[in-house]
Amino acid sequence: MIELRTPAEIEAMKPAGRFVASVLEATRAAADVGVNLLDIDALAHEMIRSAGAESCYIDYHPSFGASPFGKVICTSINDAVLHGLPHDYRLKDGDLVSLDFAASVDGWVSDSAVSFVVGTPRDADLKIIETTELALDAGIRAARVGNKIGDISAAIAEVAQGRRYRINTDFGGHGVGRTMHGDPHVPNNGRAHRGLPLKAGLVIAIEPWFLETTDRIVTDADGWTLRSKDGSRGAHSEHTVAITDGDPIVLTSRG
């Protein structure tokens, strides 16, 4: 069911957005060569406890997950691009890291993701990270009353295809509110002027993610981590966005 939020409810969602942004800023700052992914998860967990927030991930068990997630942040490394389950791994020089985090504050959820390189970056990694960020910006600009879901999808796809990246539509953006995942689905490819009309009060996570040389993914042995079929690297950017009668509000804006 698609729910529209009142201006007062969107205002009430802002603390969750600020908290999610602060956790991603802190975990990104902590991620460095030699840092263990379990320590990144522990930092996020401690911030949740200190803020009196609730994890959206730890007990999360959708149909595509092998078991409850059991951790509080997704840590996807190199050829892993989504749902990376934190494990005993120390970051190496040049690793491409994607962090995805969602939490509930006072009953309202926000969801956001960021990708970056620790240590010495490869040009190809910087390009694909930049592409997800440009695509996210394009999708946010299209999130306006009078447009349709397809306009967001088409804006994202135009950026990706302009840089010759293929697009997987198995996973994409989604509604956000009292729960982490709701209607509508926001694919990263679609036809402009098609689909659900965008109305004030709709709150969605917009999340472009791309892989270097494929659009096919496989599930890792942990039952969660999604990797590229061909071993190429990927990147992921995401914000929770509220559509209003004016400009869209990026609830998870960082810095």
- Residues belonging to the binding site for a divalent metal cation are 100, 111, 174, 207, 238
Q: Whole-angstrom Cα distance, residue 226 to residue 175?
A: 21
Q: Whole-angstrom Cα distance, residue 244 to residue 31?
A: 35
Q: Residues 82, 100: contact at Cβ < 8 Å?
A: yes
Q: Residues 200, 145: contact at Cβ < 8 Å?
A: yes
- Residues at the binding site are 83, 100, 111, 174, 181, 207, 238
In sequence order, which residues have a C-beta less than 8 Å from that of residue 143 and are 6 or more positions away? 152, 198, 204, 206, 241, 243, 248
Which of 234, 239, 249, 228 has the alpha carbon at shortest distance from 117? 234
Token output for 158: 């135009």
- Residues at the binding site for substrate are 83, 181
Q: Which residues pair with 76 in a beta bridge?
A: 98
Which of 26, 84, 89, 40 has the alpha carbon at shortest distance from 226? 84
Task: Look at residue 169 and give its three-state secondary structure.
Answer: coil
